[in-house]
Amino acid sequence: MPYLKIYIHFVWCTKNRYPFLNTIESRQLVWNHIKENAKQKGIHVDFVNGYEDHCHCLISLGINQSVEKVMQLIKGESSYWINQNPDLFPNLKGKRFEWQSEFFALSVSESILKRVRNYIKNQESHHSKKPFCEEYDKIKKVFEKKGDASSD
């Protein structure tokens, strides 16, 4: 039997970064649903949290799982579930909930797992000081820069 231990830190946003998840209660409903749904699909969610317009999810990939498939299953099913339960999410106000199609997937060394978990855990306080859009744009620039360097 193969032994695999690959941790990925996923980050994705709501469509147009709209703050659909603007209450702690709505966020907790979504994070709990993501954990339960992932468990049913054999996806090991180590930690999940986020803020009103984005989600962070630390996942340990299974032997037959790909980054793309895990994101498709988690994002697709959670947006479907949110739209099927509009009474739980008053901020939808008749709008359709969607996640943005893009996402970040960063590999995480076991040596920094605790630090990544703490970072994900403290999203509420972190984003009270620094808006997510600044952080997102900064990460995106790093990805774009690395992409440019590899094409030289």
Q: What is the CATH number of the domain that holds 46?
A: 3.30.70.1290
Tens-place pLDDT, residues 91-138: 888 899 999 999 989 999 999 999 999 989 988 776 666 666 666 666
Average pLDDT score, the chain: 87
Domain-located, residue 63: yes
Global pTM?
0.84
Residues 6, 71: Cα–Cα separation, whole Å: 15
Looking from the CA of 77 toward its CB, the CA atoms found within 13 Å total 17
pLDDT of residue 59 exceeding 90:
yes
pLDDT of residue 15 exceeding 70:
yes
Domain-located, residue 1: no
**Number of folded domains that form the chain:** 1
Domain-located, residue 70: yes
Q: Tokens standing for 22?
A: 């603007």
- % pLDDT > 90, the chain: 66
**Residue at 119: amino acid letter:** Y
Q: Which domain holds residue 92?
A: 6-150
